[in-house]
Amino acid sequence: MISYPLPSDWPADEKAARAVQDALRDRVVLDEPGPPPGTGHVTGVDVAYDDERDVVAAAVVVLDAATLDVVEEATAVGTVAFPYVPGLLAFREIPAVLTALSGLTADPGLVVCDGYGIAHPRRFGLASHLGVLTGLATMGVAKNPFTFSYEAPAAPRGSASPLLDGAEEVGRALRTREGVKPVFVSAGHRVTLANACAHALRLTPRYRLPESTRRADALCRAALRESAG
DNA sequence: GCGACAG
DNA sequence: ATCTTGTCGC
């Protein structure tokens, strides 16, 4: 099994965190198409919190990309080491996520994060950060447009419209269910935006959110409950 | 200065 | 993220 250690220079405050983002953003790879949709593995990642106890639980669920069957799961429980600050989400979630990923035996394949990749104030969101640290292909699927703007995509499933930061397309608003609020897809690392959207559609045969994040969400919540009572 | 703001 | 009852709909 592969180990994904937390960098020794992990920041403790906001100023240092932004400096880390500025130092690593150039390592993001966006010219690789990424794994073909429907092949290999797709891994969902999510994190849950218990603010009262300062506890964080992360879960990673490896799925067979073709059947969406669960191949392997892993969780990690730890202490919250960073507050939620818009734009710095990665520093709150990544420590526990790396520990959970290190518990896997299977190849993660494409990692799908609950949040953003390149669609970020400094173009280095959670998915991109996780990709650079692990070398894995990553993408983000967020439930909200964050600070970006978009025009509602057409009603049919599969319709999409650009997610904009000014005039720059940083991601895409993708309709995964007919007539339902779209999800916001962005490339993280070693994946193309078009390919990321194709993966997102394959992962949503029934619900608005990807099966990968739904599985990971349920698992990290369960892990958090079991860590308490 | 004010409001907005992934999870 | 998390706190929370009922409610509308397939």
Give the CATH number, domain containing residue A126.
3.30.2170.10
Query: Which pLDDT tens digit goes with each residue over A187-213?
Result: 999 999 999 999 999 999 999 999 999
Judged by C1' against the alpha carbon of A115, the nearest nucleotide is B6
A28 inside domain: no
**Distance in angstroms, CA of A114 to C1' of C7?**
28
Q: How far is CA A170 from the centre of its chain?
A: 15
Q: What is the pLDDT of residues A68-91, one digit of tens each?
A: 999 999 999 999 989 999 999 999
A138 belongs to a structural domain: yes
Q: At what angle do helices A14-24 and A126-134 cross, to 10 degrees?
A: 60
Residue A36 lies in a domain: no
Output the pLDDT for position A229: 62
Residue A1 in any domain: the answer is no
Asked if pLDDT for residue A25 goes beyond 90, the answer is yes
pLDDT reported for residue A228: 81
Look at residue A1 in the predicted model and tell me its pLDDT: 83
Q: Which residue segment(s) compose the domain that A207 sits in?
A: 42-226
What's the average model confidence in pLDDT over A113-118?
A: 98
A154 has a pLDDT exceeding 90: yes
Scan residues 89-128 of chain A and list those with Cβ within 7 Å of strand B.
Answer: 89-90, 114-116, 120, 125-127
Tell whether A108 is covered by a domain.
yes
Total domains in chain A come to 1
Strand partners, A186: A140
Which CA distances in Å does A45 have to A5, A113, A154, A212? Answer: 17, 5, 29, 7
Q: Which nucleotide is nearest to A51 (CA to C1')?
A: C2
Residue A37 lies in a domain: no
Starting from the edge strand earliest in sequence, which strands make up the sheet with A183-189, in order?
A: A70-79, A55-64, A41-50, A110-114, A137-142, A183-189, A168-174, A160-165
In a domain, A10, yes or no: no
State how beta strands A41-50 and A110-114 pair: parallel
Residue A14 within a domain:
no
Give the Cα separation of A93 and A97 in Å (integer): 6
